[in-house]
Amino acid sequence: MDGDPFAAPSGREGVWEVSYEALFAGYASGDPEAAAAFVRRVERNVYGLALAIVHDPAEAQDVAQEALVRAWRFAASFDPRRGSVMAWLLGITRNVALDSVRGRGRRPATVADVPAGWSVDTTDLGDVVDRREDAARVIDLVRELPPAQRDALVSVTLLGLSTREVSERDAIPHGTVKTRVRLALRKLRDDMGVRQ
């Protein structure tokens, strides 16, 4: 069609059965079809997390775009021994979002600030039915955590709050928050069977 190597393909047939990792390898190498497919495969995840943290659609779009560009720039730094491509990409997204929020002198989103439309109830972290199997499994395991531990862990990992901020938000001792986070992370690690 045109000479732009990143022009979107006319159809998506054939690439949607390919794993994130395979698409990411193509994304990093500049393969145009893989790049387009990768972006379209992950855009809801990346934009969704960005929006959850900055809760402004325009800013979230900038954050999501920057995260994807950064992932492309530093694709070689992805280490599959450390986890999945999606988790790595969402980690970048979270960091870019937090930089955006903090750079504007605002505090990161708290649970109470999350806009309507995204359930803040950590027993309902998303529509499991349409999730990929790995994400669905993580959601199930997170849901199985004791509520207080779950809330603390989600606040620290997804929303990027410090334990001090969680302590202030929930009016509970800082040490209690740290204990909950530690217990939750260890239990999740054991339940997921993560080993090094």
Closest listed residue to residue 122, CA positions, set 88, 149, 94, 103: 149
CB-wise, 15 or 158, nearer to another protein?
Answer: 158
Q: Considering only residues 16-35, where is the footprint of another protein by CB under 8 A?
A: 28-30, 35
Total Cβ atoms within 10 A of residue 149? 20
Give CA–CA dist 29/76, Å, rounded. 10
Give CA–CA dist 1/76, Å, rounded. 29
Contact 107, 165 (CB under 8 A): yes
CB-wise, 14 or 30, nearer to another protein?
Answer: 30
User: DSSP letters of 12-67?
Assistant: -TTTTTS-HHHHHHHHHHT-HHHHHHHHHHHHHHHHHHHHHHH--HHHHHHHHHHH
Closest listed residue to residue 61, CA positions, set 70, 75, 48, 72: 48
Closest listed residue to residue 37, CA positions, set 51, 59, 21: 21
Please state the closest distance from residue 17 (CB atom) to another protein, in A.
19
* 21, 44, 107, 147: residue in contact with another protein (rule CB under 8 A): 44
* 18, 65, 113, 170: residue in contact with another protein (rule CB under 8 A): 65
* 1, 76, 129, 171: residue in contact with another protein (rule CB under 8 A): 76
Q: Is 118 in the site for another protein (CB under 8 A)?
A: yes
Please state the closest distance from residue 188 (CB atom) to another protein, in A.
5
Q: Considering only residues 139-178, where is the footprint of another protein by CB under 8 A?
A: 139, 142, 153-154, 156-158, 162-163, 178
* 22, 25, 111, 135: residue in contact with another protein (rule CB under 8 A): 135
CB-wise, 5 or 14, nearer to another protein?
Answer: 5
* 15, 34, 51, 54: residue in contact with another protein (rule CB under 8 A): 51
* 14, 19, 21, 57: residue in contact with another protein (rule CB under 8 A): 57
